Chains A and B, each alone.
Chain A
Amino acid sequence: MLKIGLAAFGACLPMSIPAGAQTASDATAETSMTGVPGDPDTGRKILADRKLGNCLACHTVSDMSEHPFQGDVGPTLDGVANRWAPEQLRAILVDAKMMFGDQTIMPGFYTLKVGVDVAEPFQGERILTAQQVEDVVAYLTTLTKDPN
């Protein structure tokens, strides 16, 4: 199930990834959370939308080069489908802290484990809906071109 790229990648991160990946694949469904397959085109839009994923604040995606000002806080998402299986991508999106540890800067997009003093309109709300998470996962699985 795990791809070769992931195994190699995991090898450089002995402390967090294998354990995290294990927990995540136990804790989350192998398939869509909604039963409806994700739509990669919608997912692509969510990545860019500052009010939704705003993933480009921290990640570069060369397939999305029409969007200027992509951040470099996180690793590029180019080739991310070769490094993580779809269920792992879903787990990263749902709650990055489960995968990368408590101190990660990456927000959990489908969790209610959030910080203190959440502003009124966001209280009790997740950043993305389950279907939006699926859409993003569907798009991420198309990113098979490794960075040079």
Chain B
Amino acid sequence: MNNAKTGLAATLALAVGLAAVGPAHSDPVDDTLVIDGELEMVTRVKAPEGHPFDEVISGWHYRTDETRALEADTFQNPGMLYTQRGEEVWNTVEGEAGKSCASCHEDASASMKGVGAHYPKWNAAAGKPFNLELQINDCRVSNMQAEPYKFDDPDQKALVTFVKHQSLGMPMQIDLSEGEMQQWWERGKERYYLRMGQLNLACATCHENYNGNYIRADHLSQGNVNGFPTYRLKQANMVSLHNRFRGCIRDTRAEQPKAFSDDLMALEVYVTWRGTGLSIETPAVRQ
């Protein structure tokens, strides 16, 4: 932390010194996200105690006018197709027990409202934090006697999107007082500042020190997770959070940790905390 702070200060000092020769930094767009003209989203919020920023800002503010507009309109948002597919999966019986998600949880709009806003959550039986993917797999194995989904199975992405969407507009907030969540937070924080790969970059190098700048065509955001799974226009597909983490890590030319590995689960806990208070935007639309 100390290190990172000094680094940031040095970077800022340098940036000021170079202002005469460097192009201007582009601020996040000043705009308000209202879904279908009805649901006003919290996309900027005061950062929690101990956060390196004063204000937490959704990645939505860093996208173009067209991309922002797509997310604001449910009919145009391509991610909504996956939400619909997720609803089908929710109602589909699978596994030896002859059950669907709906057999136990019934109407998702009631039973799942708010649920996705509070993950990852401590799972005492597993002795580690569970994200929605792991929780769903646990339900499939224990309650449905079905196979767990493989990472990024299209049905896994659709179902997670559907469940998260039931919390649309609700503030993201995880409970760090349960079990060993605080230790996982610490571990995630360490990882966030760890320089990796041949390019020698940490998450913080890009998302803490340079958000607001362009890296090629990409307007660097704070790297918040409140929109996941996210529809990425570049890939014309839904992208899960661990897929995004792995992509960012690959770009540093580092070995990519496996999805749901302890490293990535710790990062998910920490980065989710960094976005505390932002509205769940799933399915968000990004570049």
- The 8 A CB mask of B5-34 against A (1 = contact, 0 = none) is 011101101100110111111100000000
Q: Point out the residue from A9, A57, A70, A107 that lies within 8 Å of B200, measured CB to CB.
A: A107
Complexed CA–CA distance, A122 and B196 (Å):
12
**Count of chain A residues with a beta carbon within 8 Å of a chain B beta carbon:** 42
Tell whether B197 is near chain A: CB-to-CB under 8 Å.
yes
Tell whether A1 is near chain B: CB-to-CB under 8 Å.
no
Tell whether A102 is near chain B: CB-to-CB under 8 Å.
yes
- Smallest distance from the beta carbon of B201 to chain A beta carbons, Å? 7
Given contacts A56-B216, A72-B24, contact A119 B255 (CB under 8 A): yes
A residues less than 8 Å from B112 (CB atoms): none
Q: Determine whether the beta carbon of B14 is less than 8 Å from that of A100.
A: yes
Tell whether A40 is near chain B: CB-to-CB under 8 Å.
no
- The 8 A CB mask of B175-205 against A (1 = contact, 0 = none) is 0000000000000000000111111111001
Given contacts A13-B17, A57-B215, A72-B214, contact A115 B199 (CB under 8 A): yes
Tell whether A60 is near chain B: CB-to-CB under 8 Å.
yes
Q: Determine whether the beta carbon of A13 is less than 8 Å from that of B14.
A: yes
- Smallest distance from the beta carbon of A80 to chain B beta carbons, Å? 9
- The 8 A CB mask of A33-65 against B (1 = contact, 0 = none) is 000000000000000000000001110100000
Interface SS of chain A = loop
- Smallest distance from the beta carbon of A96 to chain B beta carbons, Å? 9
Q: Determine whether the beta carbon of A16 is less than 8 Å from that of B14.
A: yes
Q: Determine whether the beta carbon of A107 is less than 8 Å from that of B216.
A: no
Residue of B nearest to A105 (CB): B205
Which of A57, A60, A74 has the most chain B CB atoms inside 10 A of its CB? A74
Given contacts A69-B217, A103-B10, contact A76 B196 (CB under 8 A): no
Tell whether A86 is near chain B: CB-to-CB under 8 Å.
no
Tell whether B258 is near chain A: CB-to-CB under 8 Å.
no
Q: Determine whether the beta carbon of A105 is less than 8 Å from that of B209.
A: yes
Residue of A nearest to B213 (CB): A73
A residues less than 8 Å from B3 (CB atoms): 102-103
The stretch from B118-126, B134-142, B246-254 touching chain A is B246-254
Complexed CA–CA distance, A120 and B24 (Å):
37
Residue of A nearest to B18 (CB): A75
- Smallest distance from the beta carbon of A100 to chain B beta carbons, Å? 7
A residues less than 8 Å from B8 (CB atoms): 103
Q: Determine whether the beta carbon of A15 is less than 8 Å from that of B13.
A: yes
Q: Point out the residue from A12, A60, A101, A118 that lies within 8 Å of B10, measured CB to CB.
A: A101
Which of A83, A104, A115, A116 has the most chain B CB atoms inside 10 A of its CB? A115
Q: Determine whether the beta carbon of A71 is less than 8 Å from that of B213.
A: yes
A residues less than 8 Å from B11 (CB atoms): 103-105
Residue of B nearest to A57 (CB): B216
Task: Name B207-223 residues within 8 Å CB distance of A.
Answer: 209-210, 213-217, 220
B residues less than 8 Å from A102 (CB atoms): 3, 7
Tell whether A130 is near chain B: CB-to-CB under 8 Å.
no
Complexed CA–CA distance, A111 and B115 (Å):
48
Which of B14, B22, B205 has the most chain A CB atoms inside 10 A of its CB? B14
- Smallest distance from the beta carbon of A92 to chain B beta carbons, Å? 13
Complexed CA–CA distance, A105 and B201 (Å):
7
- The 8 A CB mask of A112-128 against B (1 = contact, 0 = none) is 01111111101001010
Contact sample, A vs B, 10 pairs, CB 8 Å cutoff: A68-B217, A70-B216, A71-B213, A71-B216, A107-B199, A107-B201, A114-B198, A115-B194, A118-B197, A127-B199
Residues of B within 8 A of A (CB): 3-4, 6-8, 10-11, 13-14, 17-18, 20-26, 194-202, 205-206, 209-210, 213-217, 220, 250, 252-256
Q: Which 5 A-B residue pairings sit nearest by Cβ, starting from the closest? A: A103-B7, A69-B217, A75-B22, A115-B195, A115-B196
